[in-house]
Structure 1
Amino acid sequence: MPFAALASATTPTRRIGLGLAAVGRPGYINLGRDEDLGADRGVEALRTRTHDLLDAAYAQGVRYFDAARSYGRSEEFLADWLTKRPDADDVVIGSKWGYAYTADWSTDAERHEVKDHSLAAYERQRAESDALLGDRLDLYQIHSVTPDSPALTDRDLHARLAEAAAQGLTIGFSTSGPAQADAVRAALAVTVDGAPLFRTVQSTYNALETSAEPALAEAHDAGLTVIVKEGMANGRLAEAHAPDALRSVAEETGLACDAVALALVLRKPWADVVLSGAATAVQLASNLHAAVVDLDDDRLARLAALPEDPHAYWERRARLPWH
């Protein structure tokens, strides 16, 4: 497993990864992004920003980087950085297939991405990812599996994924939506020739959306590496939007709301890697303070009152504007 070195590392930030959803394309749904990125959203501006973030993350001990075919040019930017940084041969690279980027580098496109979990989509996007990342790609995940996804029942697709696994590529999946727990459990049951197909799961979990926790604990116990995404709830847990309980705890710790929000996830014994979705080096540095946040029982009890009904949470997320 490519994550073995991360799990056994003594550097606290090794358990924090960097996701490139917010910087690989000009439009995304994170709150506050207008201020984060400013007016220049050109390809070269975002390429430079991504490289700066990757440099900062690597210098501070981060060793997992997460991209996707639908994150605009995230794979391209990451591949460029890897070429420039031959010293970064100890990083783990993950990407995802199953969504195609369709916004044509626009922030106001009618559709920014299109979902397709078919075998044909896998073949096409695997070739695209390989052309950019080649043998640096360690983990390939099905993007946003839901309980009704055909990727859970397509035996021809499973066979092709198993072939890729036999050749050394780790196969995983990510989840989204209010039924994440059902999707995780359905994926755990997928086997090829009696062996489990998936070795990693990436799911949304944060102070406001905790519904997948039991299933993620089951996945961890089954031997899967659990990656947590959207620990900041697309900016809803950042300083400008954080609920009062989170603000209060952050003030007591002397650190920012984002560090506390991510620390809450890091302390879960089933969470192997927690993603930062930072768009700036300053945000990243603040996120990485999560590794040293002290959350005592009283603080944890106050934060435990924050979770929302998962359907309400995902309905609100669906209404966030692309900007």
Structure 2
Amino acid sequence: MSLRFFLGTASFQSSDAFSALDAYFDAGGRDIDTARVYGKSEEVIGAWMTERGNAGEVRLLTKGAHPDNDTWASRLSASEVRSDARESLDLLGVDRVDGYLLHRDDPSRPVEDIAETLTALVVDGIAARIGVSNWGAARVAALVEALGRIDGPPLTWVSNYFGLAAASGTPEWAGVETARSELFALAHELDFTLLAWSPQSSGYFAGRDDAGGGAFDSAENRRRREILERIAREHSVSSVAVLARWLVTTDSRLVPVLGSTRPAHLAELVAATTSESLDAAVASLEAELGAATRDPGAWTESLAAR
């Protein structure tokens, strides 16, 4: 059975995560999301694949060129991208990754430069496919055009925030991008996949009001959570299950990145994402929340006023 979500591994920092990786793999999951900026995540995944001997069966997607954590200076030069990519390959213990994404945009850097850098990763055999993370729709469209002008590879992935909760714009979220309705339209038009990071809104719908550094705790998001919880009760299922099923059915171009270090929680996510019996609850959720289920930031202006 193939699973329609990537396993998120930002919290995988030791061999204790092997049991979660095993649970995902044994359930049929093969797509693993990581990044050079995720601490020891790549190293842990590499050690797990070596121990299990399954590197050839796993599809790895990693990200690099994250801005400097101290100065927030951009790191999108060709040399910086290549250095991060090579380090990722070494830590993962592979010769090539299935997908390589640039972690943040720098609007001051011409898309032509970025297109050439991404193309070189494919030409040199570092990555089979390319993508970007936290890019707005206009820049994505410009990058696709630039790749076309140089006969570069297609843009396969755009990874932005997408979840039922709208982020409130706290400093922790400065510089990140939400997948809005215009990006969904572009994904269908230009044939790329939207990878939704933090689609469970950092545990906000599991009751964590401090999720994302408090970025989700607003009157509107509390209302959304109350509706989700009521619908879950009416259908005798968990809120987590309804949320997970909604995420894998909301749009054919959307693939969520779901993560947990607990095998039991992963089992719940696997069951929910593959269960058509949850579709009635999802339909109720969409009927009540309307635009918010397709564009979490639809009411951003009203959030600021509350």
TM range (shorter): 0.7 to 0.9
Is the 8 Å Cα contact of residues 14 and 62 (structure 1) preserved in structure 2? Answer: yes
Question: Cα gap change, 1:300/1:123 in structure 2, threshold over 3 Å: closer, same or farther?
Answer: same
Q: Which residue, out of 273, 278, 302, partners 1:290?
A: 273
Q: Where does 1:94-133 land on structure 2 (aligned, <5 Å)?
A: 94-99=61-66, 115-133=74-92
2:172 equivalent in structure 1: none
Is the 8 Å Cα contact of residues 30 and 59 (structure 2) preserved in structure 1? Answer: yes
Whether 2:219 is the aligned partner of 1:263: answer: no
Q: CA deviation at 1:132?
A: 2.0
1:187 equivalent in structure 2: 143
Whether 2:102 is the aligned partner of 1:142: answer: yes
How far does the alpha carbon of each residue in 1:132-173 deviate from its partner, in whole angstroms, 9 at most, with x for none? 232252111111336x162x5252x43242132234523433
How far does the alpha carbon of each residue in 1:222-269 deviate from its partner, in whole angstroms, 9 at most, with x for none? 222332221111222224557101111222333322222222221133
Q: Which residue, out of 270, 288, 298, partners 1:302?
A: 288
Distance 2:201 2:242 in 1: 13
Corresponding letter in the other structure for 2:81: Y
Is the 8 Å Cα contact of residues 185 and 215 (structure 1) preserved in structure 2? Answer: no
Question: Cα gap change, 1:101/1:50 in structure 2, threshold over 3 Å: closer, same or farther?
Answer: farther
> Is the partner of 2:274 in helix, strand or coil?
helix
Is the 8 Å Cα contact of residues 111 and 142 (structure 2) preserved in structure 1? Answer: no
1:91 equivalent in structure 2: 58
Is the 8 Å Cα contact of residues 92 and 138 (structure 1) preserved in structure 2? Answer: yes
Whether 2:29 is the aligned partner of 1:62: answer: yes
Distance 2:283 2:138 in 1: 30
Q: TM-score, normalised by structure 1?
A: 0.72
Question: Cα gap change, 1:238/1:118 in structure 2, threshold over 3 Å: closer, same or farther?
Answer: farther
Question: Cα gap change, 1:235/1:85 in structure 2, threshold over 3 Å: closer, same or farther?
Answer: same
Is the 8 Å Cα contact of residues 70 and 113 (structure 1) preserved in structure 2? Answer: no
Between Structure 1 and Structure 2, the one with more helix by share is 2
Q: Which residue, out of 197, 212, 235, partners 2:203?
A: 235
Q: CA deviation at 1:221?
A: 3.7
Corresponding letter in the other structure for 1:65: I
Question: Cα gap change, 1:163/1:314 in structure 2, threshold over 3 Å: closer, same or farther?
Answer: farther
Whether 2:40 is the aligned partner of 1:73: answer: yes
- Output the aligned Cα RMSD: 3.1
Is the 8 Å Cα contact of residues 69 and 101 (structure 1) preserved in structure 2? Answer: no
Q: Which residue, out of 15, 31, 56, partners 2:4?
A: 15
Same amino acid, percent of matched pairs = 23
Q: CA deviation at 1:198?
A: 1.9
Moved more, 218-227 or 49-58: 218-227
Distance 1:52 1:100 in 2: 32
Is the 8 Å Cα contact of residues 9 and 41 (structure 2) preserved in structure 1? Answer: yes
Distance 1:149 1:121 in 2: 16
2:263 equivalent in structure 1: 281
Distance 2:88 2:302 in 1: 32
Distance 1:231 1:313 in 2: 21
Runs of 5+ in structure 2 lacking a partner?
A: 167-177, 210-221
Is the 8 Å Cα contact of residues 101 and 133 (structure 2) preserved in structure 1? Answer: no
1:251 equivalent in structure 2: 233
Question: Cα gap change, 1:274/1:162 in structure 2, threshold over 3 Å: closer, same or farther?
Answer: same
Tell me the matched-pair count.
Answer: 269
